Amino acid sequence: MDLVDDGDTSRAGRVRRRRRSRVLSRYAGRPIRLIWRYVARHKFAHSVVLLSVVAAVGCALASQYGIRNLIDALASGRAHPQNVVRAFAVLVVLILADNLFWRVAGWISARTFVAVTGDIRREMFDYLAGHAPSFFSDKQPGVLSSRISATANAVYVLENTVAWTALPPSLTVIGAIAMVAAVSVPMSLTLVGISAVLAFCLFLLARKGTARHEAFAKQAASVDGELVDVIGNMGLVRAFCAVFPERRRFDGQLAAENDARKRSLLYLEKLRLLHAVATSILSACVLGWTVWLWSIDQATTGDVVLIGSLGFSILHGSRDIAVAFVDLTQHVARLGEASETLLIPHSMPEPTKAAPLEVRRAMVDFENVTFAYPGRRAVLNSLNLHIEAGERVGLVGPSGAGKSTVLALLQHFYEPGSGTVRISGQDIAHVTVQSLQAALSIVPQDVTLLHRSLLENIRYGCPDASEADVRRACQDAHCLEFIAALPEGLETISGDRGAKLSGGQRQRIAIARAILKDSPILLLDEATSALDTASEIAIQSALERLMKNRTVIAIAHRLSTLQSFDRIVVLNRGRVVQQGSPAQLATVPGIYRDTLARQIKRTPAPRPDLM
């Protein structure tokens, strides 16, 4: 099974990805099944680790029996040195084998456990990327990213805890009890019964603490999300003198997290204390029982040493089991909480029979489309809109009229409540996501850049483009000049979301990115809003070249940018209330003419000294 979307756009590849998404969603809130999913991918390596640990523990236990034989051989005196040499040789071999098996287990686990965490991160990111945009609008980025890391780290810690903290003492206790049977079967059976009762009690108590561990996991993720949110908006925080209020807010969140962590850890300590008292009493009783057997000549001196050694092994081993068990409970709870957040079913999965979008003529149709955001009134009401291939259409209207929603539905960010959105006559709800995205280029109002080089950002939609192609796109977008002035040119890192660039520079980068992508349908969402008048005039030529031979849908509050368009569509309360050419609407009473008049009135007359 593939781990990530490897670029396979074939039908078989899409079927595999859909099947993988459906399977992953079944693991939400089921941490043990989720762990087994990834462990099963490396069965042989995990089997080697398991067998090596079993062999190492077996050798360690056999070493204690070897010490018992050596003591009994020494008791026979110097008359039989061959018995001493034989017991000594066996003990040395067991000690060497013990160390060798541990090193084999460590070597294999170093590769395997890391591979498992890589598998988890890749699949979790792949699944997360398949969520609809509405999923991300309701979640903090820091919370989601921390949960991906928490899921992988929890599995890594769980594997290490099982391999090195839980499994060895468990095997030691089982083996030690079995070896006690060589001295006294009743004693061994008694230990089995007491250990079973103790383990069952610990299991029940540990389950009662799950809610505390889950509460801590949620609070920790919330603190991570708050940190990312504040750090990502530090400019806003400083601009409004909110550093101290944010500190107080963070202190409150941190106090809540610390309180949740304390409740979780104290509950674990109670379990450890209960176990420590029980095992101490048990070990003392077993040792006293053995001394009594020796006193009635039913056990040798070596048996007393062996039982004493095994008693301490059981004591320390069961203590380690308790520590590991309660730690495992905490990490399983954290894994369950993280997986429950990440692996909720996709709200807009790609249809099983989705076909690639074929853009023969890039026309767009909204047919009786109604849409409302969750918990809000309808934004679009039976919207009907036809845009011909190659037509330039500007969307105008008051805030909340539905302009941005039209672009969002065209990109299939949301499912319409009713009606159909079509491109080239095909319902976009039944086409593949990748083919739809390839048909659209967008220059948004709030340009987002990745924390990478400008070169990578510009060719984000066309990763195979040559640097020469990138430079031509930059030249057409009138951004080559300011890029050349940067210390590292196209290799300059843009900063977090493009923080190192001005708003106008980011929009020019976005235009260059759209030019390079060369999609048949172009969406402009206030594409020149961050530009001053002089820059806007300079970039209009770039937009003209970008819009040539494309279907264009543009949102613009500055109506001067739409004067060369074929048609203006005026929206109000989710309906088309006016449409026509800019010249026609300028003479017809309505929203367009009123807005145009206000903007002309606000525009200052040109100064003679600047003409």
Q: Where are the beta strands (DSSP E) in 271-417?
A: 364-372, 378-387, 392-396
Separation of alpha carbons 347 and 125, rounded Å: 16
pLDDT at 45: 92
The CA distances from residue 510 to 326, 459, 513, in Å, are 52, 10, 5
The reply to whether 277 and 142 lie within a common domain is: yes
Q: How far apart are CA 378 and CA 417, in angstroms?
A: 9
Any domain includes 196: yes
Is the same domain home to 426 and 494? yes
As a whole number of angstroms, the distance between CA 408 and CA 343 comes to: 24
- CATH number (domain holding residue 320): 1.20.1560.10
pLDDT at 235 (0 to 100):
60
> Does residue 558 fall inside a structural domain?
yes
Closest to 402 (Cα-Cα) out of 215, 537, 589, 577: 577
Q: Output the DSSP codes for 253-297.
A: HHHHHHHHHHHHHHHHHHHHHHHHHHHHHHHHHHHHHHHHHHHTT
DSSP structure class, residue 132: -
Q: Which residues contact 496 (CB under 8 A, 6 or more apart)?
A: 232, 451
- The pTM of this model reads 0.66
Same domain, 97 and 234: yes
C-alpha to C-alpha distance for 268 and 262, rounded to whole angstroms: 10
Domain for residue 5, yes or no? no
Q: Residue 251 phi/psi, 5° resolution?
A: -60, -40
379 with 294, same domain: the answer is no
Give the H or E element holding residue 576: strand 575-580
Measure the CA angle with vertex 593, ends 588 and 599; round to 5°.
165
Look at residues 342, 374, 404 and tell me which one is the last residue of a structural domain.
Answer: 342
Backbone angles phi, psi at 30, to 5 degrees: -125, 75
Q: 369 and 337 share a domain?
A: no
Query: Is 425 among the domain residues?
Result: yes
Ranges in the chain, pLDDT < 50: 1-7, 605-611
Of 310, 342, 374, the residue that ends a domain is: 342
pLDDT attached to residue 164: 86
DSSP letter for 607, please.
P
Chain centroid, CA 205 distance in Å:
32
**pLDDT tens-digit profile of 412-461?**
888 888 899 999 999 998 888 888 888 988 888 778 788 888 888 888 87
pLDDT of residue 201: 72
User: Quick one: the chain helix, strand, coil %, rounded to 5?
Assistant: 65, 10, 25
The H or E element that residue 483 is part of is: helix 480-484
Burial class of residue 569 in the structure, from the number of CB atoms within 10 Å of its CB (0-12 exposed, 13-18 middle, 19+ buried)? buried
- Residues 336 and 380 placed together within one structural domain of the fold: no
What is the distance between the alpha carbons of residues 479 and 499, in angstroms, rounded to a whole number?
A: 16
**Do 407 and 445 share a domain, yes or no?**
yes
> Any idea what DSSP says for residue 164?
I
Q: Report if residue 58 sits inside a domain.
A: yes
> CB neighbours of 507 closer than 8 A, spacing ≥ 6?
443, 447, 527, 528, 529, 530, 531
Q: Is residue 354 part of a domain?
A: no
SS3 8: coil
Shared domain for 567 and 516, answered yes or no, is yes
- Say if residue 393 is in the same domain as residue 291: no
Statement to judge: residues 330 and 410 lie in one domain? no
Q: Are residues 525 and 454 in the same domain?
A: yes
Q: What domain range includes position 54? A: 11-342
The last residue of a domain, from among 307, 342, 377:
342
Query: Is there a single domain that holds both residue 452 and residue 330?
Result: no
Q: Classify residue 387: in a domain, yes or no.
A: yes
CB 531 within 8 A of CB 558: no
By C-alpha distance, which of 344, 446, 415, 391 is closest to 128?
Answer: 344
- CATH number of the CATH domain containing 411: 3.40.50.300
Residue 169's contacts (CB-CB under 8 Å, 6 or more residues apart) are 316, 317, 318, 319, 320, 321, 324
Give a yes or no: residue 165 inside a domain. yes
Q: How many domains is the chain partitioned into structurally?
A: 2
